[in-house]
Structure 1
Amino acid sequence: MVVVTGGSQGIGAAVAERFSAALPGVRLALVARDRERLEKVADRCVALGAQTLCVAADLVDAVQVERMAARVQAQFGGVDVLVNNAGRWRGGAAHEMSVGDFVRTLEENLVSMFAVTRAFLPGMLSRQRGDLFFMSSTSGLEGLANNAAYCAAKHGVAGLAKAVRAETADQGIRVCCIYPGATDTPTWDGSDVDRATLMAADDVAQLVVDSHRQSIRAMVEELVVRPTGRR
């Protein structure tokens, strides 16, 4: 059973479709704020053989996270794979961004991942198995000008993944943190970036599925993937 947050578009949608194609009959829960977009992704996954559940939720709201997790587990049971992918880019220099926007960026990209992990991890621990994926960014490996909040949040995601891995490694849980570079997603809508030079979301999604399909004797801890710039 697979849960994908931020599953309505971009990398999340690509991950959902890749799991649907790779694991026929997979039970797949898609989570995001936009139900209409979720349902379009779900339709594509069903066509690939998946059983789907769409849950519209704002993952910044801890109450909505708990309700979402309860609904998923009531319908599909225990979670085997959790892909923590939901997030939002907010640019801004440190001296120009408001404290409120900085906090909101941390909530959307880091606190929400903690809340979702907290909701599903106990079930994994009770069964002594499960794969956790945290979608960071190459912004979680370096500092970029005019990206103070986003870099802070994505560095935090990396730290969260490392801490959860240390806490659970001897309990059958595998934790992988992924650091994608510039990827062709709706984040770039309206920009003047040449999107032909960006990675496809499907390239990142394939790494998630391949990591999950590793032997239980192996754990992929971190993956850094960057665009080559080639068309």
Structure 2
Amino acid sequence: MNIVITGASKGLGKAISEKFAADKQGHSFFLCARNAETLKAFATELQARFPRTTVNFYACDMGVKAEAEAFANWVLGFNKPVDILVNNAGQFVPGSISNEPEGVLEQMIQVNLYSAYYLTRVLLPHMIQARQGHIFNMCSIASLKAYDNGGAYSISKYALAGFSRNLREELKPHQVKVTAVYPGAAYTDSWSGSGVDPQRLMDAGDIAEMVYATAHLSPRACVEDIILRPQLGDL
């Protein structure tokens, strides 16, 4: 399979990349992240660990339209069908609507919503023409339930859920699947140093397992929503 993953160098994107690379199929990866050095190090490590794979990488800021579209066109330049697209690029800035800094909403919308919109818009005609592919949009529990200090982040994730639902309806006749993923707290770099016991959180690999399993169903089945929470509930 040809697998496109944004925000791939750490957290859930990294875990999903590792999960697909670990099987024996020898997939081709097209990975992006903002930090070029971190991305190159991960891509090199992934290629070395799983020599059956082909790991291509491209550093860009997915919240910038021109960069997101450049990444999309770079992917298309390989002349390979996109089998899986994981819109994972995102950012979390805590705060309340009443007091968060000016510009946070615009920032959250750019990174958490527009990144997926820009990339998907360029790749989609090719997926529709091929009548195949599976799009995973990494939403959040914050897409489903407002919570204290969620502010602009939660607004952007609600919007991403709306994008995913509309996309699902639009693509039903074209045999392109769409899955919205709603993870609760999983232990990634963003929780490092928070003081929260890692045992209270899910593993990033838990989310990767569900995405992997969902991607391997028959063409006649589509999991529309994946909701995962820590066993003890949300934090």
TM range (shorter): over 0.9
Match for residue 45 of structure 1? 46
Match for residue 89 of structure 2? 86
Give 1:45 shift.
Answer: 2.5
In structure 1, give the amino acid aligned to 2:34. Answer: R
Distance of 1:23 and 1:173 partners within structure 2: 24
Q: Residue 161 of structure 1: which of 160, 164, 168 is its match?
A: 164
The DSSP-based 3-state class of the residue aligned with 1:75 is coil
Report if the CA contact (8 A) 2:185-2:229 is conserved: yes
Distance of 1:82 and 1:139 partners within structure 2: 22
Q: Does 1:122 align with 2:129?
A: no
Report if the CA contact (8 A) 2:64-2:110 is conserved: no
Distance of 2:200 and 2:22 partners within structure 1: 26
Give 1:76 shift.
Answer: 5.4
Q: Residue 217 of structure 1: which of 214, 220, 223 is its match?
A: 220
Structure 1 runs not aligned, ≥5 long: none
Distance of 1:10 and 1:198 partners within structure 2: 13
Match for residue 69 of structure 1? 72
Structure 2 runs not aligned, ≥5 long: none
With normalisation by structure 1, the TM-score equals 0.96
Distance of 2:59 and 2:44 partners within structure 1: 15
Match for residue 198 of structure 2? 195
Match for residue 18 of structure 1? 19
Q: Number of residues paired by the alignment?
A: 230
Give 1:96 shift.
Answer: 0.3
Q: Does 1:108 align with 2:116?
A: no
Match for residue 208 of structure 2? 205
RMSD between aligned residues: 1.4
With normalisation by structure 2, the TM-score equals 0.94
Distance of 2:66 and 2:128 partners within structure 1: 22
Report if the CA contact (8 A) 1:35-1:54 is conserved: no
In structure 1, give the amino acid aligned to 2:213. Answer: D
Distance of 2:226 and 2:149 partners within structure 1: 25
The DSSP-based 3-state class of the residue aligned with 2:21 is helix
35-44 vs 138-147, greater mean Cα deviation: 35-44
